[in-house]
Amino acid sequence: MASSSPVRSWRSLRNLSLRQFDQMQPSISPRSSLNHSRSLHSTTPLRSSSKTAPYSYSIAASYIGKDRPFDPSTHVFHFNPYNRVQPPKKPRSKASRPESGQDAFFISRTQGGGVALGVADGVGGWMDSGVDPADFSHAFCDYMAAAAYDTDITTSTPARGIMQKGYDAVCRDPSIRAGGSTAIVGILDAQKGNIQVANLGDSGFVHLRPNRVHAHSPAQTHAFNTPFQLSVIPQSMIRRMAAFGGAQLSDLPKDADVTRHDLSHGDVLVFASDGLWDNLFDQDVLRIVSGAMTRLGAWEKTEKGIRVAEDLNPFTTLEAEESGEKETASLQSLLATEIVGAAKAASVNSRLDGPFAKEVKKYYPHENWRGGKVDDICVVVVVVSEGKEERSKAKL
């Protein structure tokens, strides 16, 4: 039964039955193989496409569990498109997971030189039923990575298709007896220079250009703090709900919002779990990205405004100094770690109200919530590069 206390009500919404949920606030529409590495150091060019593809994508991820200290030198993953995609291993070793808590991510090649990527956030409410939410989210990303490698990105909705294949595989996996997750999946086309995004829940992405947020994905929620979510529900729980009324919140990949966005040289894409979006506004992320891009020279200040450097390869490729004492991080890994570091700091700041705190005040004005929201944080960053020949054609 739902508590009459607003404090307990909104904090437990993720695990409410539909019957309990209907007795509370009405629906609202506000403004979202696992490849990972524990090593920051690499000298492999991180290019996502073949030599003939006009677009290439340099990608890195950073992450941290909510109860762990963040170390940018280890909590980072560099995507290498030449690595072979391995099928998910069974049984899975939890020790091999990145320290991202209930958040998970994947980055994988697709057919035709494209790249698929995504973030999944395990629904914490399942812990009340003795289920580790990380089991669902990490297995889900494993399966989506494997499915992506065999995906034809020329189909009408490949991003939603990968989500569907990953979800179907999780439902068939006997080791996943229960759980749930939000999901956001993107498909980068190296030939056409665009991205298709399928978003289900309150993870999300922003598409950044110099000095502006070009696009972002609105969160999908049933109500405040109650995101759309994919679920595996045990038959025993279904029978209990049938006997006593109600149903567990469970959405499907077909419910995901699908959008397509054209990309340009120097664009930056940020995919992340709600651990980022609950603590930093879109403009905060833009400020962090703009600061790093201009500081390094990838975005250059001129008398006519900011322009993108002609060649981004020197920024997106890792280079080690001969002394061996210092190694320069790639642009994409620097962006990812700086964003996660800022979100982590904001999450434990009890004085500065972030997006989540403002939403609490909006829907629960008597709730005394201040500062950030402690949560797992997972971020995937993409830096877009376009060949000089293609840019010349665009100017004609």
54-66, pLDDT tens digit by residue? Answer: 999 999 999 999 9
Confidence at residue 34, expressed as pLDDT on a 0 to 100 scale: 36
- Is 61 exposed, middle or buried, given 0-12, 13-18 or 19+ CB atoms closer than 10 A? buried
Please state the rounded mean pLDDT for residues 292-300.
96
Q: In 23-179, which ranges are continuous DSSP H helix? A: 133-149, 158-172
pLDDT bracket for residue 23 (50, 70, 90)? very low
- Is 93 exposed, middle or buried, given 0-12, 13-18 or 19+ CB atoms closer than 10 A? exposed
Residue 270 forms beta bridges with which residues? Answer: 206, 381
Confidence at residue 247, expressed as pLDDT on a 0 to 100 scale: 55
Q: Is the pLDDT of residue 2 over 80?
A: no
Q: Is the pLDDT of residue 354 over 70?
A: yes
Confidence at residue 390, expressed as pLDDT on a 0 to 100 scale: 57
Q: Is the pLDDT of residue 361 over 70?
A: yes
Cis peptide before 72 (omega within 30 of 0): no
CB atoms within 10 A of CB 259: 16
Confidence at residue 181, expressed as pLDDT on a 0 to 100 scale: 97
Q: What is the DSSP letter of 17?
A: B
Residue 196 lies in a domain: yes
Confidence at residue 45, expressed as pLDDT on a 0 to 100 scale: 35
Residue 304 lies in a domain: no
Please state the rounded mean pLDDT for residues 192-207.
97
Angle between helices 133-149 and 158-172 (to 10 degrees): 130
Residue 280 lies in a domain: no
**Mean pLDDT for all residues in the chain:** 82
| 204: nearest Cα among 281, 264, 101, 126 | 281
What's the pTM value of the predicted model, to 2 decimals? Answer: 0.84
Confidence at residue 158, expressed as pLDDT on a 0 to 100 scale: 93
pLDDT in tens, 176-198: 999 999 999 999 999 999 999 99
Confidence at residue 235, expressed as pLDDT on a 0 to 100 scale: 77
Confidence at residue 95, expressed as pLDDT on a 0 to 100 scale: 83
Residue identified by tokens 């697709």 is 110
Residue 363 lies in a domain: no
Residue 135 lies in a domain: yes
Please state the rounded mean pLDDT for residues 8-37.
33
Confidence at residue 26, expressed as pLDDT on a 0 to 100 scale: 31
Q: Is the pLDDT of residue 303 over 50?
A: yes
Please state the rounded mean pLDDT for residues 42-59.
61
User: Which residue range forms the structural domain that includes residue 218?
Assistant: 6-39+47-274+376-395
Residue 279 lies in a domain: no
Number of domains in the chain: 1
Lowest average pLDDT, out of 96-105, 166-175, 278-287, 387-396, goes to: 387-396
Q: Can you tell me the distance from the alpha carbon of 375 to that of 102, in angstroms, rounded to the nearest whole number?
A: 9
pLDDT bracket for residue 85 (50, 70, 90)? low
Q: Is the pLDDT of residue 174 over 60?
A: yes
| Residue 121, both tokens | 């956030």
| 98: nearest Cα among 327, 376, 346 | 376
Q: Can you tell me the distance from the alpha carbon of 386 to that of 145, in angstroms, rounded to the nearest whole number?
A: 25
Residue 80 lies in a domain: yes
pLDDT in tens, 231-251: 998 877 766 665 566 556 689
Please state the rounded mean pLDDT for residues 72-101.
83
Residue 281 lies in a domain: no
Residue 231 forms beta bridges with which residues? Answer: 180
Lowest average pLDDT, out of 15-29, 132-146, 325-339, goes to: 15-29
Contact 369, 307 (CB under 8 A): no
Confidence at residue 243, expressed as pLDDT on a 0 to 100 scale: 58
pLDDT in tens, 304-331: 889 999 999 999 986 544 444 445 689 9
- Indicate which CATH number applies to the domain containing 12: 3.60.40.10
Q: Is the pLDDT of residue 254 over 90?
A: yes
Cα dist. 178→163, 171, 228, 250 in Å?
18, 9, 16, 12
Confidence at residue 161, expressed as pLDDT on a 0 to 100 scale: 95
Higher pLDDT, 28 or 48: 48
| Residue 26, both tokens | 């009405």
Confidence at residue 42, expressed as pLDDT on a 0 to 100 scale: 31
Contact 231, 249 (CB under 8 A): yes
Please state the rounded mean pLDDT for residues 97-123.
93
